[in-house]
A and B are shown apart, each in its own frame.
Chain A
Amino acid sequence: MSSPPTAPPAPPEAPPQPPRRPRGARAVLALLRNAWRGLTSMRTALVLLFLLALASLPGALLPQRSLNQQLVDKYFADYPRLAPLLDKVGAFEIFATPWFAAIYLLLMISLIGCLTPRSLEYLRAMRQKPVATPRNLARMPHHAEAVVDGTPDEVVERVRGRLKGWRRVEREEGEARSVSAERGFLRETGNLVFHMSLVGLLIGIAVGKLFGYEGQVIVLANGSQFCNTSILGYDSFNPGLRVDGTQLAPFCIKVDSFAAEYLPNGQPKQYTAQMGYQTADDVRAGDTATWRPDTLSVNHPLRLDGDRVYLLNHGYAPRFTVTWPDGQQRTGEIQWQPVDTSTYLSQGATKFERPGIADDATRQKSSIAITGLFAPTSSGGQVVTSTYPDLLAPEAAVDVMRGDLGLDDGRGQSIFSVDQSKVDSGQLVRVARQNMVPGQEITLDDGTRVRFDDVDQWVALQVSHDPGQVTVLVFAILILVGLGLSLSIKRRRFWVRVVAAEPGTDGRTRSVVELGGLARTDRAGYGEEFDRLRADLLEPATASTAATTRNGGD
C-alpha cells in the first residue's frame, strides 16, 4: 500500500453534500455512497452495538433449545399462547436466528468500512512529520512561556535530550527555532489492532461452526473401548454445517476405571478416569496393541491432535448373569441412568436374548429383561432408596421380565426401559420382583437363574473438535493487547519555540522559550506530563521574568 498523494479517504462522517439533483446512475451511486457512509459512521456503530446487546438479552432470559430442550418444552406448556409466537421469531434459539446474524454481520461490515480508511490514514500519518508549530502557541490548551539561560541552540539541544522517544522535527522559522513533537502513536495502533481482531475472532468462530463437531458417548469403565471412526459410534452427535462425518480422526480410547471422591455430605470432590488412548496416527500406522496411558478428570481433558476428550458425567452399570435351564449363560451389563444426581439413584433395563435357540418364536418368548432401581448406597429398607452417591452399600430393586422384548421389531427402543407396549399386550410378563445385593441370585419358575454379579461404573465422554479454536484464542489475546494499548496511551503533541532574548544584566545569553501542548484525544492526564515537561525545560526560569503558564484542559 503506497501512501497516495491523492485525496484522503473520506472521513466516516462527511458533511452532507450540497443539495443537487443527480440523475440516473449518478443518483444510484450517490445513494450507495450515502448508505455506505451512514453504515460506517460512529453513530451507526453505536446503534448496532446497542441492538446487539438488546438482541442477546432474551438468550439469557428465555430457555434456549441448544442448552435445555426440556425447559423450552416446559415454557410451551406454561405459556401455550405466547410460546409459539416467540418461537416464530426464533426466541428459543436467538443465537442461530438470521436477524441476530444480520446485526453482527452489519456491525462487522460497518467495522471494516470504518477500519479501512482509518488504517490508510494511519499509515500515512505514520510517515508524516509532526505538524508544524502553530503560530500562536498561547492558544493551545497547555501553554507556558519563560526566559531561560542559554542560546536558542543550547535550548534546542536540551529539548532534544528531554524529548527522547517522541517523534520530533525541528524547523527554522526566521529568527526562531521550533521543535514539534508527537507521541502516543501506539494508541491508534492499539485501536486498529483491537478492531481488526474483532473481525479475526468472528472468522475463527465461523470456522468452528462450519468444520467443528461435538459428540457424546457413554463408555463402561471396565476396559471398554471407543473409536472415533464414525458418527454411528456416538450416542449423540452435533456436526458443524460442513461436517458429514467422513473425516473424523480415527483415534481410539479405552476406559480402564473410574473413581469419584465425595465429601461426607455427598457433594462430589473429584472425578477421575484412568484410560488409555491411541492417536489417529497410531491407528493409521497399525499400532493398535499399545495404549498410551492418561488420566481424565474434570478440567483436564485429553487433548489429541485437533480433538479433545472430556469427562462429563458418570454413573453405574449393574452386571447380571442369566443362566437358562439348558445351561446357556449370558452376562449383561449396560449403563443405568442416574435419576437423582445427588444420590445417584439410577434406573435402567438390562436385556438378554436367549441364546442357542434356533426357533424365533421360542427364543422370543424366553428373553429376559431386568429393570428397576439401583442405589449405590442403599438405605437398606424394603423400598430401595439411595442415601449417598458412592458405591458403599449397593442394592438393586429389580423386576425380572420374561417374554418378547421386541428387539427384533426393527424399532429403536430406549436402553433404559423395556417396551411398554409389549408389557401392555402381555407379551412381556413380570416373573419376579426382588431386592438384590451383589452376589445374590433369583431362580425363576422355569429354573432360569438371574444373578446380580457386581457393579461397574460408566463415564459419559464428549469428543470436541473445533479447528477455529486457536485462531479465536490468538485474536482474543490481540483484542486484549489492542485494548490495553488504546485505553492506556494518550496521543499528544508538544511544541517548543525558542527565540534569542536580550542578554540579562549579568551579560549571560538568554532565550525566550514558549511551550504548547495538545492532547489529541479527550483523555485526562496530559496536564501532569505537560507540567513535568515545563518544569524540566523552563525551570529555573530567569528570575526577573517569571514563567507565565496557562494550563487548560486537553
Chain B
Amino acid sequence: MPVDPMLSQYSDLLFKGALTVYVLAMAFYAVEYVTSRARERAVAAEAAPEPAAVAAVSATGGTGTADLGTVSEENADVPPPPVKAPKPFRSRADRFGRMGVSLTILAVLLHLGSIALRGLAAGRWPLGNMYEFTSAVCFAAMVAWLVALQRTSKRTRGLRKLGVFVLVPVLILMFLAGTVLYAQAAPVVPALQSYWLAVHVTTVTLASGLFFVPGVASILYLMKRSGKPAGFVAKLPDADVLDRLAYRVTVVAFPMYTFAVIAGAIWAEAAWGRFWGWDPKETVAFVAWVIYAAYLHARATAGWRHVGAAWINILGLAAIIFNLFFINMVVAGLHSYAGLG
C-alpha cells in the first residue's frame, strides 16, 4: 500500500502539538509542585474543620509506617466533606494542578491522533520503527499516569503534582523520537508483516510505557525515604503512597509484559524458525522480566520489602529502556531491522 504523505504530515503535526501541550502541562505541574505546601495537612485543615481534617490527615499525611501498609490512600475512610461547605476551597497550587491534568488529557488525545494517522498513512499498524515505538511508549506512560491518577485522585491529591516527574523522562524521549529517531512513514520488511506484530509490539510498548510510572515512583520513594534534599522531598507525597503507586502499576505491567514476551516467542517461532534464540533483544527482555520477578519477590522477602524492592524496580526500568534503545541502535541482531530510518 502506498504511503499517504498528507496523512503522514498531519500525524507529524499532531505529534508536535502533543509535545508542545505536554511541555505546557509539565510547566503547570511544576508550578503546582513549587507552590504546593509541604504537607497536605495544611490544605486539608483550611478546607474543612474537624472532623474531616482528621480523616484527611490520616489519608494523606500519615507517618507512613509502611511495614503494615497502614493509612493508605485506599483504606483511609474519608467522610464526606461538611455538607454546607460554601464552595470548595482551591489553592493556587490546586488550580495549576487541575489545569495540568486538563492539558495532559488534551496532549494525550493529540498524541493518540498522531499515532493513528501514522498508521493510516503507512497502511499498517503504527509500530514499525524506533520513532513509532518511542512515541507509543510515551503515550502508554502518559495514559498509565492518567489512569493511576484517576484511580486515586479523590484520596491523594498529593499524587497529582508528581506529574512533572513523569513528564520529564517522557518529554526527553519524545524529543529524541521527533529528532534523532525520526523516520518517514513506510511499510515494513516481510518478517514484520504479521498480526503477531500488532499483538507483540503493542503489548511490549504498552507494558514498557506502564513501567515508567513505577520507575519514577520508586526513585521518588527512595528520595523521600532518604529525606534528602529536604526542601524538595518535603513536598512529595508519603513514602507509603509512592511505594503503593509503584507496586500497583507494576502488577498490571508485569503480566502484560509477560504476555508480550510470550507473544514475541510465538511470533519468532513463525518468522524465524525458533521460539527463543537468545537474540540480544530477547536476552535483555528476559533480564528485565527476571528483574521484575525479583521485585515481586523482594516485596515478600523480609528486609527487602521497601528500599530494596524500590531499587530493583528502578533497575527493571533501566533494563526496559536499555532494551528499547541501546539494543536496537548499537547491538546487531534479528530485531535491529526495526531500525532507524
- Hey, which bits of chain A sit against chain B, CB under 8 A? 13, 42-43, 45-46, 49-50, 52-53, 56-57, 59-61, 64, 66-68, 71, 94-95, 141-142, 205, 214, 263, 267-271, 297-301, 308, 310, 312, 462, 464, 466, 469, 472-473, 476-477, 479-480, 483-484, 487-488, 522-528, 530-531, 549, 551-554
Contacts and interface: CB of A to CB of B under 8 A. Distances in A.
Nearest to B330: A61
A480 B278 contact: no
A72 to B, nearest CB: 13
A263 B187 contact: yes
Contact of A552 (B75, B293, B294): B75
Given A43-B303, A71-B332, 9 more contacts: A53-B287, A53-B294, A57-B284, A59-B278, A297-B190, A523-B247, A527-B76, A549-B77, A553-B69
Contacts of B70: 141, 552-553
Contacts of A49: 290-291, 293-294, 297
Nearest to A529: B74
Contact of A524 (B72, B190, B280): B72
Interface string B286-322: 1100110110111111111100000000000001000
B265 interface: yes
A57 B284 CA distance: 7
A299 B75 contact: no
B155 to A, nearest CB: 10
A396 B291 CA distance: 54
Given A43-B301, A60-B331, A66-B278, A526 B190 contact: no
A56 B288 CA distance: 10
B226 interface: no
A527 B271 CA distance: 47
A396 B280 CA distance: 38
Instruction: Across the A-B interface, give the 8 residue pairs with the lowest CB-CB distance, nearest first.
Output: A527-B75, A553-B70, A298-B190, A60-B283, A553-B69, A60-B280, A49-B294, A551-B77
B284 A269 contact: no
Interface of B: 68-77, 186-187, 189-191, 193-194, 196, 244, 247-248, 251, 254-255, 258-259, 262, 265-267, 269-281, 283-284, 286-287, 290-291, 293-294, 296-305, 319, 327, 331-333
A524 to B, nearest CB: 5
A218 to B, nearest CB: 15
Given A263-B187, A268-B190, A553 B283 contact: no
A428 to B, nearest CB: 37
B71 A553 contact: yes
Nearest to A55: B287
Nearest to A462: B273
A292 B248 CA distance: 53
Contact of B69 (A45, A464, A554): A554
A531 B294 contact: no
6 contacts: A53-B319, A59-B278, A269-B187, A462-B273, A526-B74, A553-B75
B336 to A, nearest CB: 12
Contacts of B251: 487-488
Contacts of B244: 524
A77 to B, nearest CB: 17
Contacts of A553: 68-72, 75
B235 to A, nearest CB: 23
Contacts of A298: 190-191, 193, 271
B143 to A, nearest CB: 19
B194 A524 contact: no
A473 B332 CA distance: 28
A473 B266 contact: yes
B145 to A, nearest CB: 18
Contact of B75 (A42, A269, A551): A551
> Which of A64, A480, A524 is packed against the most chain B CB atoms within 10 Å?
A524
Given A60-B287, A487-B255, A551 B69 contact: no
Contact of A472 (B69, B193, B275, B294): B275
B297 A552 contact: no
A483 B254 contact: yes
A480 to B, nearest CB: 6
Contact of A42 (B271, B284, B297): B297
A469 B269 contact: yes
B190 A308 contact: no
A523 to B, nearest CB: 8
Contacts of A526: 74-75
A303 to B, nearest CB: 10
Contacts of A95: 278
Given A60-B327, A297-B190, A524 B74 contact: yes
B283 A56 contact: yes
Given A53-B290, A524-B244, A142 B301 contact: no
Nearest to B303: A43
A76 B225 CA distance: 47
Contacts of B255: 480, 483-484, 487
Given A71-B332, A301-B270, A141 B68 contact: yes
Contacts of A552: 68, 70-71, 75
A52 B290 contact: yes
A112 B298 CA distance: 19
B282 to A, nearest CB: 9
Nearest to A43: B301
A214 B267 CA distance: 18
A528 B74 contact: yes
Nearest to B70: A553
A464 B274 contact: yes
Contact of A142 (B68, B75, B186, B189): B75
